[in-house]
Amino acid sequence: MARTEARIKATMWEDADFKALTPNAQWLYTMLLSQRGLSFAGVLPYTPKRWATLAKGVTPAVITRTIAELQTNRYIVVDTGTEELWIRTFVRHDGILDNPRLKRVHADDVNAIQSPIIRAEYHAEYGGTDPPPDGDTDGDRNRGTDPDSDPNNNGDTNGVAMPIGMGPTRTRGRSAGTPPPNTPSPAFRRPPSERPPTTPTGNGSRNPETDEKSGNPKNPPDPLVERWLTITGKPHTRPQTELIVRHLRAHVDPTVIDERIGYCATLDQPPHSPNYLLRTCADWAAQHNIAIPALPKGA
């Protein structure tokens, strides 16, 4: 998800370690903080050649030397194998750990880290562990069962990525108040399209993936709708949210809707109505000469 703004604290210029950096290192660090591709885990693609085009007189060699300075001073971690760069204190200083509306987005971005080096550094800094490679939980392995082969499994608690333990200080292992690493989280449930089919067994049994009245398969939930409802914490607005997201999808790219939802997640107060999503997308569209018509009357 592309970011539209960066949080850079004024107190940075009072930090003795930061003032000890060279001008090139200070510029590069603030440039990295303001990149659109920076994830909520503090990771972005490692593209030194592209960064060299962002200022006059800067070459890829200058970027490489400056990256080395920032690594030596523990500001960043780079894995050239996976072409990822991690800003070590971004998650803490950006206030992500203090914003419950960003919990799911942040955890998704942590799980998306490809580099084992950066993953290890992240967990050393903030606590937590990686999910099991097969998506199983300790309880499933102890029972000797495969969650996808269990005919009675509806996918609600199995095949779940473990939540990331997060702590405000540099720790090894799980921080105080963090759920145990094998605690299933609803935020990581597999979508219905990935759950094993449920076969009716006996009178009155129904497949939970079909409509109770018609017996037809249910449409999978729209991930944009689910993310909006997670951020706002207002599930009762689902019908209106689904209507608005369908309307927006017909006129703008889904990545734009996703980006505007991410923007709403950074607000001090969550929006009370999905109409706010419609307005913020319409504002973006107007800036790019795209017309989003009003919702039909009675919708």
DSSP annotation string for the chain: ---S-----GGGGG-HHHHTS-HHHHHHHHHHHT-TT--TTSEEE--HHHHGGGSTT--HHHHHHHHHHHHHTTSEEEETTTTEEEETTHHHHTTGGG-GGGHHHHHHHHHT---HHHHHHHHHHH---PPPTTS--HHHHHHT--TTT-TT--SSSSS-PPPPP--SS--SSPPTTPPPTT---GGGPPPGGGSPP----STT---TTB-TTT-PBPPPPPHHHHHHHHHHT-GGGHHHHHHHHHHHHTTS-HHHHHHHHHHHHTSSS--SSTHHHHHHHHHHHHHTT---PPPPTT-
Checking if the pLDDT of 173 tops 80, the result is no
Checking if the pLDDT of 200 tops 60, the result is no
Checking if the pLDDT of 277 tops 70, the result is yes
Cα separation, 159 vs 145, whole angstroms: 12
Checking if the pLDDT of 204 tops 70, the result is no
For the purposes of burial, counting CB atoms within 10 Å of the CB of 144, is it exposed (0-12), middle (13-18) or buried (19 or more)?
exposed
**pLDDT score recorded for residue 213:** 54
Checking if the pLDDT of 139 tops 80, the result is no
**pLDDT score recorded for residue 298:** 62
**pLDDT score recorded for residue 203:** 45
Q: Write the pLDDT tens digit of every residue in 3-36.
A: 677 788 888 899 999 999 999 999 999 999 999 8
Higher-confidence residue: 208 or 221? 221
Average pLDDT over residues 169-182: 40
Rounded to 5°, angle at Cα 37 from 266 and 184: 60
**pLDDT score recorded for residue 60:** 92
**pLDDT score recorded for residue 271:** 78
Cβ pair 152, 199 in contact under 8 A: no
**Structural domains of the chain sorted by starting position, each given as residue range(s) with its CATH number in brackets:** 10-111 (1.10.10.10), 223-287 (no CATH)
Q: Write the pLDDT tens digit of every residue in 53-89.
A: 999 999 999 999 999 999 999 999 999 999 999 999 9
Average pLDDT over residues 191-201: 45
Average pLDDT over residues 106-120: 91
Checking if the pLDDT of 197 tops 80, the result is no
Q: Comparing 71-75, 155-159, 230-234, which segment has the lowest mean pLDDT?
A: 155-159
Token pair of 196 as six digits: 């094993």
Q: Comparing 97-106, 111-120, 241-250, which segment has the lowest mean pLDDT?
A: 97-106
